[in-house]
Structures are given as structure tokens and as C-alpha cells.
Structure 1
Amino acid sequence: MTTNTTVNPAGLTEADYAEIARELDALGAEIMEDLGERDADYIRRVIRWQRGLEIGGRAMLLASSLPPAWIAGTATLAVAKILENMEIGHNVMHGQWDWMRDPKIHSTVWEWDNVSPAEQWKHSHNFVHHTFTNVVGKDNDVGYGILRVTPEQKWHWAYLPQPLYNVLLAMFFEYGVAVHDLEIDKIREGTNDWEETRRKLRDIGRKVRRQWGKDYLAFPLLSGPQFLSTLAANFTANAVRNVWAHAIIFCGHFPGDVAVFEEERLDGESRGEWYVRQLTGSANITGGRFFHLMTGNLSHQIEHHLFPDMPSNRLAEIAPRVRALCEKYDLPYHSGPLSRQVTSTWKKIVRYALPAT
């Protein structure tokens, strides 16, 4: 059996870990102290563009019975939904813009445009995932509770059809994210708090009804005789957003030699060791400025894991310095084009569906 668990990459000493922590702490503090009006202008500009695209897309879908209007409206709405979920919702709810003290752009009030309740997502993602990144048995993002993506996960026959599971997860990714905080493993083991589970399910149900009422009832009704074509357009835009988000997130966590860790790694973990776990347990995706925008800058997943509260527009700025630090300490810096990262991720999903690996 092969393994990709990283215990002590490059034979780092305690002094190395302490110096890595000092350098990265200083880098993070430098950027956070430099935040100002240009950063605030950036997120406000992105929000304006996103809202304009959504209005434009929905306006075009009022004539959705016409193929050109359907295609243009669906594409525009899909881009708006991607921007809202990736560059705005994900990052606002991370608290990246809380420093602005803007009551409309704050992690405590933002509710994003998908079926996952914000409060549940913030617990499963901001706390659990970013604290226990890639620790098997602690980070539920390792396989999302249904996929085996590393040999450290014990094989079960239920993993055999996981390539099919993954296709369905991609198409309906927002629903997979919505149930993520339920901790499916605990439900299967019977160790969950059923009252808390029921409360979370009620919150998910309310959010699903809200989203379905908006996308699959209200806006299709507004288009009158184009009800069915608008309904199909909204479903398609949601599916496109889901597939894109799934691809970007999976490519940031599962491709190639990205490391996973046993729970023992957490015992007495220093700040420097935490930083190195983030570095070796993440992967970047190369591309241009528009590509990075459409990924929510999660194409800079390594930098995001190092500084989850840092505004997304600053991640590209620090990436060369993070890469230089990795070279200095002979640490891997996983990065590659989207096509390579997608291929590598899918190879893992197919490979670890089988019992011999």
C-alpha cells in the first residue's frame, strides 16, 4: 500500500519550523496592515458587477423561449452565480472583509445564493476544515464523507462506484455542501446528537425552500409563457456553478502529491508545523486574472490555507513570496494548470475506488 502522508517534509528541525512561522506571521501581518480603500473598492466593484450580471441574465431569460436569449441569459446567470458563491460569498463569510466594518459586507450577515445555510457552512468550513486541514478522521472535506481519496481511508465496497458518486456530487455540489455539517460519518455510526441533527435539517429545509422558490418558481413565473424554458435555464445555471465550484475545490485539495495526515500529527502541533501542513496539504491552479477571479482566488489555495482571513485580491500578490519560502526550505509547492489538476484528481478518485490501493 502506498501512502502520501507527510510527517516531516525535508527533514525540518524545530528551529526551521519556528523560522517558517516567524516569516509567514510577518508576511500575513504586513499585508493585513496594508489593507485600505483600494481593497474595499475591489470587493464593492465585484459585488456591483455580480449584481449587474444577475439582473442582466434574468432580464434576458424573460425571452427564454428564443434560443439566443436562453443561451445568453443562462450563461450570464451562471457567471453571476459563480462570482457570488466563489469570490463574494465564500470570502465574505470567511471574514476577509470584516475589517471594513461595512454592515452589508460582513461575515455575520451574509447569506449566499445556494442551498447551504451560511452558519452551518461557516462551522464545517471555517472552523473544522481550516483547523484540521487534510487530517483523516478530523477534516470532513477529505472525500466529503462519500469518496475515498487516500489510502489512509479504509476501503469499503461502497467506494467501488465512487466515480459515479463524484459526477453526481459535481452536478449537485451545493446539496453536498448543505449536508456537510451534518457529519454523515457520525450519523452512520449512531454517535451524533439527533436533536442537533434535526435542527440542522430544518435549517437546510428552509434554505432549500427559499432557493427553489426563487429559482424554480418566482423567476420562471415572471417570464410568463416562458416558464419552462426559464426553469430549465435556472437549473442549468445552478448546475454549471456547481460543477465549476466542485472542480476548483477538489483541484485545490486532492491532486497529485498533496499530503494527508493522521490525527497523531495534531499532538503538540506548533504554529510552524500548522503552516507546513497547510503548504503540503494544498494545491494551486495556474491561470490569468479573470480565471483567478472566477475561482474566487481559490486557485491560490495554498495561500488561502495559510491566511484564510486575508482578502482574496491579495493572494496573488503573496504567492511568489510563499513559493520562495518553499524553495528555501525544500518544501513542495503544488501548482499546475486546471487540466492537469482535474486529471490528477480524477485519477485518484478512480484509483482509490479499488481495494488493492
Structure 2
Amino acid sequence: MKYKQQKKALVLLADGTIFYGKSIGIEGTATGEICFNTGMTGYQEIFTDPSYYGQLMVATNAHIGNYGVNNDEVESDGIKISGLICRNFSFTYSRENADGSLFDWFKKHNLVAISDVDTRALVAYIRDNGAMNAIISTEVDKLDELKKQLATTPNMEGLELASKVSTKEPYFVGNENAAIKIAALDIGIKKNILRNLAKRDAYIKVFPYNTSFEEMKAFNPDGYFISNGPGDPEPLTEAQNTAKEIIKRNLPLFGICLGHQVIALANGISTYKMHNGHRGINHPVKNLLTGKGEITSQNHGFAINREETEANPEVEITHVHLNDNTVAGIRMKNKNVFSVQYHPEASPGPHDSAYLFDVFIENIKKNKQN
């Protein structure tokens, strides 16, 4: 596609601010909460991550599409972002093992994407003014209509989205003769989490977001897992109740991201919407138990209340984010339960956090021996 063929497009923020760009060739309009990811690689994993459901993604890397797409590098059954905003969109790709171009993949999924936006200015604006709803469109001459449509877009705070991305029916992952059985609650699970568990000799049954503890227990699992996912954790009362039942019985439990927040809520610790969240692949975290630092992959717009966590006699903080001192991990003092706010399955280079899966497996083995 030649540059001159690209039509005008725009980004309209909820506060009325407008940024202009060009359509990559897929016309239309998309709404959602605007956020940015600072990763230099991994755009395909980002676009298919269920945690990004309902969000417009701003890519801070200047070039998107230059290495095409590979069918093995998806984290779910399809694209989950609402739309893409980038600086330079590459219609050609140079990676030998690519299965096709990013443009053809977007076209197949009818994803609205706009390029030639001053993403440095846009990200600086979001960073200073906070994540907010936005609309991207190729219909630049219909500004009044776009403003009306944007006004009806629901806010992320209070929004339950797990039901939009969770499996409808239970399914199995791994070797059924594996040494360990894990029941996973899918509130937006990434495929690589399941791969990491399966390669540690676990057989996983993945359950829908609203599954009760009794239903999960019928699988007779050795441990329980609560996944990542999109939206506000507070409306997920069924998942919180399931977590409470697991905790009550002192069964091995591990939570990642949204699952971490659900476990916190099950312990009476509140959550809050962050100013603009953490989204990237180089976030520094300190493990307070070992004193070691970790370079982590993160993707969340909510966090758990630090003061309430510190005041809770049953819970201790195990990890902190070194940029802003938000809680990045917790464990229960007298229960076989722990969770982290980041993604140990995402290894964009560093594998610093992969040990967390080993900790979970060891917790399960110890519990089986008792």
C-alpha cells in the first residue's frame, strides 16, 4: 500500500482532545479505553492478550508490523484490542518464519488501525492526564457523531469484562497422565500460562469465569489457579467467592494479574483504578523475600490497596513495583496462597519471573505429601 492512498483518521479523547493520523486501509470506527504499551517487541502477543479486551492500544515503539505475524504467537483465539494507534505501520515484513503480514491479519479480523499519529505526544498526554475513553475513526468529517458515540462508551471502572473473554465450556490442557492436576479459573487466561503449567508436568482443566468452587473441586485437582483478564476486578463476585472457598480450605492457590486482585478482594483488600496503569515488558519489581530485582512484563490498569494490605494480619507483601511502590505480589501467612500483579509467563528476553510457576508446583507437591 502506498502512502498517498492512506485516508485521514483521528483519535478523539473523552476530554475533547484530538490527534490526527492516517488509516492503514481498514475503514471504520472503534471505541474503548485508551492505553499505551512500552514494549519494543511482542505486538502480536499484546493484540491477542484477553486482558486488553475493550482497549485502544497505543504502541510506543515507532515501527509496528515490520516482522509480520506468526500463527504460534497468539495468546488467545483472536485479536482482543478494540483498535490500534501507531506511528509507522509496516505493510511489508522481513521475518523468515512469519506466516503473513500484520495488515492482512488485521484485515481478516476487521480491526481498525491508524498510523502517522504523533504517538510520543499522545502517550505523554495520557501519562499526564490519565487513561480515559477514546474513539478512533476514519470518518473525520463526522466529529459530532463521533463525540456522541464516545459519550456512550462505558467507563472501565466498574466494568465486568471477564465474561466476554472467558471460555464457555471447560476444556483440558496437557497430559492427562501428568503428576499434578490443576483447576484453572479462566477470567481472561493467556495460552502461555497454560503452556508453562503443562510443561511442569501438570494436567489443567480450564473452567468458565463464573464456576463455583464445588464445580472445580469435582475435578479433584491438586491445586487451583486464577488467571489474568480484563476489566475491573470488583464486579467479579463469583470469582471472589470461589477464591474464598479455596482459601478457607487452605488449598494451593496461585493468581496472576486480575487473579491477584481477586485474591486480594477475597481477603477484604480493596482495589482501585490507576492513573494510567502499567503496560510494558521492562517493569522493575523487587522480591522482598529474596531481595532480588526482576525485570517483568506487566499489563494492568487496576491495583490493590497497599495500606490495606499492610494492615491485613493474614497477608504480607512479597513484591513491590520499584517505579511507584505499588503492590506487585502478596502471599497469605497461614495459607497456601500467593499471587503476583505481573506476568511470569511473558518472557520478552528476561526469564526473571518464571520461578513463580516452580513455586506453585512445589506448593502443590508439599500439600500432596501432607
- Does the alignment reach a TM-score above 0.5? no
TM-score (norm 2): 0.25
The structure whose residues are more often helix, as a share, is 1
The structure whose residues are more often strand, as a share, is 2
Q: Which has the higher contact order (CA 8 A, sep 6+)?
A: 1
